[in-house]
């Protein structure tokens, strides 16, 4: 029990530190892939999932006729259901495979990866969700441009969001190709095309309603599978939680060191930098925040965030038990190692090996199918967010202007989905051999540096002007890209240099402050008449954000 208490202390410490889950978790699918023998249970369950979700898409298509229904399901999704769908958007395949692998190899440092994802949720719950829902119509860009010059700032904000979404989509698809190779034995090209085709069908025909149900079903499957696996783990250890950690300490090659943090991030500035990446990166992810518009009002939006954090927190507690239990059960189990003593399939197979140990072929097939379903669900959420950015923010909000009709915007939305599907296949094939960690870090860093600072100040600072908002978007986007190129991920890992010009893998320690500073400077130095009007309109925005009064006018803005 003493070990368990110590782990709880580490849990709380790691929560305070904050580290992005996606990047390190993605590392589990960044390396070589070994095809595994086909599991018919996995194939049958996955085919069942696809048929069920295609049926739901057909049903959803009969209820999706307007842009509001396409982007946000008409705002009619119940808070509890939307919260489960948000958790599905957040809990990717990397969570299931990569974080378990991180705990298996690093011990308590893997906990840092898990619990840090929870750090951003209280910010979203208490400071973002309600105001975002009251001020916006479909996307976070609606909020940014609420009292600013929409014609000028929308294109820049849309470009930054699209860059984030495209890189995020690439990371998911490259990971998808490798995971499907790993789990189903399919060729990489077939895997990428299959995922992209299903993604287009879900979103183009069913819109947000279909995407929400796909996420909902996948999230339920994921939580049920994780719960069963954790229960079997507890049964194996006779419900002695402390023994799970004590046994892991006895078995692991690092011994007692696995119960201590600091083996991974030794430099405090590195901890701070990745903490900024997670916190601001999460706030700036368009596809996550878009789901806060799918409920009827601000209160339901806040409840959605609460349900989401509860489910995510519960699932991550399960992963802690599974990860440490796997150390005891398979680290020296010859059934899951090759002749050279290496784990079959690599460390990304930890969750699947321990699943087979505890539940046999049937449970292994279920978890494998859930992993594939997870990929489909996440890319669907990314795609509909990209379609909303292109059709609503760029076409309707910027270029077409008064020539926009409901039918034309719906057509552009669906064409955008098809275009994203084609681009997804192309990018998935081009980036096949690129490091998924690098692509994921790029997306999170841009979201943290470009989107989040402008969004936060748009809601909370009366002094923000259009000129300041544009400056923040441009500086945040450019500096995050520049410092990643000058950092170790490119100069050392890709170019093979001995040392990088910028020492940190995550550029946010510099790019986020630069973005805030740029917004402040160009806003306070703007003495134009339009800037004065933008500052004066903050009171109207504040009332709307807090009460919802004037929300119809905001929707037409």
Burial 180-190 (b: 16+ CB within 10 A, else e): bbbbbebebee
Q: Using an 8 Å Cβ cutoff, are 467 and 156 in contact?
A: no
Question: What was the pLDDT predicted at 530?
Answer: 93
Residue 51 lies in a domain: yes
Residue 97 DSSP SS3: helix
Question: What was the pLDDT predicted at 287?
Answer: 85
Residue 329 lies in a domain: yes
What contacts 169, CB < 8 A, 6 or more positions away?
A: 379, 382, 383, 386, 420, 424, 427
Residue 338 has, within 13 A of its CA and on its CB side, a CA count of 10
What DSSP string describes 457-508? HHHH-TT--HHHHHHHHHHHHHHHHHHHHTSHHHHTTTT--SS-SS--S-TH
Alpha carbon distance 329, 359 (integer Å): 13
What DSSP string describes 242-305? HHHHHHHHHHSTTGGGGGSS-SS--SHHHHHHHHHHHHHHHHT-HHHHGGGGSSSSHHHHHHHH
Residue 513 lies in a domain: yes
Question: What was the pLDDT predicted at 522?
Answer: 97
Domain that includes residue 250, residue range: 2-25+42-556
Burial 24-42 (b: 16+ CB within 10 A, else e): bbbbbbbeebeebeebebb
Give, as one character, the DSSP assignment of residue 335: G
Residue 196 has, within 13 A of its CA and on its CB side, a CA count of 25
- As to burial, measured by CB atoms within 10 angstroms (0-12 exposed, 13-18 middle, 19+ buried), residue 148 is buried
Residue 30 lies in a domain: no
Residue 34 lies in a domain: no
Token pair for 368: 């494998």
Q: Per-residue pLDDT tens, the chain, 557 aa: give them.
A: 444 344 433 333 333 333 334 333 344 444 445 555 566 787 888 888 889 989 999 999 988 888 888 988 888 899 999 999 888 877 776 677 778 888 888 888 777 666 666 777 778 878 888 888 888 778 888 899 899 998 899 999 999 999 999 888 888 888 777 777 766 777 888 888 888 898 899 899 999 999 889 889 989 998 999 999 999 999 999 999 999 999 988 888 777 778 877 777 777 887 788 778 888 888 898 888 888 888 888 888 889 989 998 998 899 889 889 999 999 899 888 888 888 888 887 777 788 889 999 998 888 888 888 877 887 888 888 899 899 999 888 888 788 766 778 888 899 999 999 999 898 889 888 887 766 666 777 888 999 999 999 999 999 999 999 999 999 999 999 999 999 889 887 888 778 888 889 988 889 999 999 999 999 999 999 999 999 999 999 998 988 888 877 654 444 44
Alpha carbon distance 432, 448 (integer Å): 25
Residue 184 lies in a domain: yes
Residue 312 DSSP SS3: helix
**CATH number reported for the structural domain that contains residue 16 in this entry:** 1.20.1730.10
Question: What was the pLDDT predicted at 182?
Answer: 67
pTM summary value: 0.82
Short-list 191, 158, 61, 129, CA closest to 387: 158
State how far the alpha carbon of 242 is from the alpha carbons of 3, 44, 201, in Å. Answer: 6, 37, 47
Domains of the chain: total: 1
Residue 36 lies in a domain: no
Residue 37 lies in a domain: no
């Amino acid at each position: 029990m003493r070990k368990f208490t110590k782990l709880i202390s580490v849990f709380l410490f790691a929560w305070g530190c904050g580290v992005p889950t996606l990047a390190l978790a993605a590392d589990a699918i960044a390396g070589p892939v070994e095809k595994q023998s086909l599991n018919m249970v996995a194939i049958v369950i996955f085919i069942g999932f696809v048929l069920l979700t295609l049926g739901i898409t057909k049903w959803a298509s009969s209820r999706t006729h307007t842009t509001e229904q396409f982007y946000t399901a008409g705002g009619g999704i119940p808070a509890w259901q939307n919260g489960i769908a948000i958790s599905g958007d957040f809990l990717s395949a990397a969570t299931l495979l990569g974080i378990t692998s991180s705990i298996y190899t690093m011990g308590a440092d893997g906990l840092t990866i898990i619990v840090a994802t929870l750090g951003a949720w209280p910010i979203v719950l208490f400071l973002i969700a309600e105001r975002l829902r009251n001020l916006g119509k479909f996307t976070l860009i609606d909020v940014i441009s609420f009292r600013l010059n929409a014609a000028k700032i929308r294109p820049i904000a849309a470009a930054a969001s699209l860059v984030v979404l495209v890189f995020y989509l690439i990371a998911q698809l490259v990971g998808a190709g490798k995971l499907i190779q790993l789990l189903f034995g399919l060729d990489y090209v077939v895997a990428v095309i299959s995922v992209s085709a299903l993604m287009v069908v879900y979103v183009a025909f069913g819109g947000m309603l279909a995407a929400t149900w796909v996420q909902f079903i996948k999230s339920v499957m994921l939580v049920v599978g994780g719960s069963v696996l954790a229960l079997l783990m507890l049964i194996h250890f006779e419900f002695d939680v402390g023994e799970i950690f004590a046994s892991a300490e006895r078995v692991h090659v690092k011994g007692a060191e696995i119960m201590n943090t600091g083996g991974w991030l030794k430099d405090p500035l590195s901890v701070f930098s990745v903490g900024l990446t997670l916190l601001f990166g999460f706030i700036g992810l368009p596809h996550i925040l878009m789901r806060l518009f799918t409920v009827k009002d601000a209160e339901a939006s806040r409840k959605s965030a609460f349900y989401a954090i509860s489910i995510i927190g519960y699932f991550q507690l399960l992963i802690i038990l599974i990860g440490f239990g796997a150390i005891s059960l398979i680290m020296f189990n010859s059934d899951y190692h090759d002749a050279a003593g290496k784990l079959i399939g690599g460390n990304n197979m930890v969750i699947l090996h321990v699943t087979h140990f505890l539940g046999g072929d049937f449970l292994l097939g279920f978890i494998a199918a859930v992993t594939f379903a997870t990929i489909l669900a996440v890319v669907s959420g990314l795609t509909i967010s990209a379609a909303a950015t292109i059709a609503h923010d760029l076409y309707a909000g910027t270029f077409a202007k008064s020539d926009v009709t409901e039918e034309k915007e719906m057509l552009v939305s669906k064409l955008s989905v098809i275009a994203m599907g084609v681009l997804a296949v192309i990018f998935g094939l081009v980036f096949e051999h690129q490091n998924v960690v690098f692509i994921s870090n790029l997306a999170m860093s841009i979201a943290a540096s470009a989107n989040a600072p402008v969004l936060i100040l748009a809601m909370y600072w009366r002094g923000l002007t259009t000129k300041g908002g544009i400056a923040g978007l441009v500086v945040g986007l450019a500096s995050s890209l520049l410092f990643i190129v000058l950092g170790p991920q490119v100069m050392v890992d890709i170019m093979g240099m001995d040392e990088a010009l910028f020492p940190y893998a995550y550029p946010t320690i510099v790019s986020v402050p630069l973005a805030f500073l740029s917004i402040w400077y160009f806003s306070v130095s703007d003495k134009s008449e339009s800037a004065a009007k933008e500052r004066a309109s903050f009171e109207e925005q504040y009332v709307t954000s807090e009460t919802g009064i004037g929300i119809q006018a905001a929707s037409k803005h």
